[in-house]
Amino acid sequence: MEPQPELPARLARDLDGSFTELVGTYQRLVFGLALRVVADRADAEEVAQDTFARAYWALAGYPAERVAAMRLRPWLARIALNLARNRLRRRPPPARPLEDGDGQPLAVAAPAAAEPAQVAERHSDRELLAELLAGLPRGQREAVVLRHVEGLAYAEAAQVLGRPVGTVKTHAHRGVRQLRVELEARKDKEEMPR
């Protein structure tokens, strides 16, 4: 399941020599998770930085056997999630509650190859989905992000969230169902006769 099964052993032998690889391997997960919680790229980058800094100092303090036996993905995801939640708690509520808050548009895959209109549409679909996801209740949102956006197994997601697997499954299912209901509603509105 882990993308780099040998990495914990390497970190245990030589933390400084292998830590760059840890950041490279997990930065997408850590940043992505933070972004879906705090909904702001600058905040998410700070949360991601804090996550890796915490991880470094924790690893530096653990005995080698403990590091070698670590499951890095759920561990890092859990640190990121906690830091992101803390940041959200400290922040005043946003003016527009359903804002995705990405600030600048996210990169769209191969934009040059597609028709401009198509790109715009795809882009706005993506934004819409991000917006709807951000509007889900926290438990559902976190479960959907971990399972369906970041692709963790239910068991791993449950470990990250500190909840039973069944609860996480329920949350993820309800979240997805809610997203589909809202997407259908939008589509129906668009397809109404003019």
Partner 1 sequence: MSAIDNTDGGWRELAEDLRGLRADPPATLRPAVLERVGLADALMTVHGPAGPLLVAYNGRGISATAPGADEAGFAERFQARFGRPLRPAGQPPARLAAQVERALTPGRRGAGPRYDLRGTSEFERAVLAKAREIPRGQVRPYAWVAGELGRPAAVRAVGAALGRNPVPVLIPCHRVVGSDGRLTGYAWGVGYKRALLAAEGADPDELERLGRRGTRFFGSDTTRIYCYPTCAHARRVTDRHLMTFTGAAQAAAAGYRPCRVCRPPALTG
Radius of gyration over alpha carbons of the chain, in Å? Answer: 19
Query: CB 44 → partner 1: shortest distance, Å?
Result: 8
Residue placing its CB nearer to partner 1 in the complex, 48 or 161: 48
Residue placing its CB nearer to partner 1 in the complex, 39 or 161: 39
Query: CB 16 → partner 1: shortest distance, Å?
Result: 6
Name the DSSP class of 14: -
Query: CB 179 → partner 1: shortest distance, Å?
Result: 7
Residue placing its CB nearer to partner 1 in the complex, 130 or 161: 130
Half-sphere CA count of 101, side-chain side, radius 13 A: 23
| Cβ neighbours, 10 Å, residue 165 | 15
Residue placing its CB nearer to partner 1 in the complex, 4 or 49: 49
Query: CB 48 → partner 1: shortest distance, Å?
Result: 6
Handedness of CA 28, 31, 34, 40 (dihedral sign): negative
| Cβ neighbours, 10 Å, residue 7 | 20
Phi-psi region of 66 (alpha: psi -120 to 50; beta: other; left: phi over 0): alpha
Positions that interact with partner 1 (CB under 8 A): 16, 19-20, 23-24, 27-28, 30-32, 35-36, 41, 44-45, 48-49, 52-53, 56-57, 106-107, 125-126, 129-130, 133, 144, 148-151, 173, 176-177, 179-180, 183
Residue placing its CB nearer to partner 1 in the complex, 137 or 194: 137
- Which residues, at least 6 apart from 108, have a Cβ–Cβ distance to it below 8 Å? 119, 122, 123, 126
Residue placing its CB nearer to partner 1 in the complex, 2 or 45: 45
With contact defined as beta carbons under 8 Å apart, do 59 and 26 qualify?
Answer: no
Query: CB 4 → partner 1: shortest distance, Å?
Result: 16
Query: CB 46 → partner 1: shortest distance, Å?
Result: 9
CA 99 to chain centre: 17
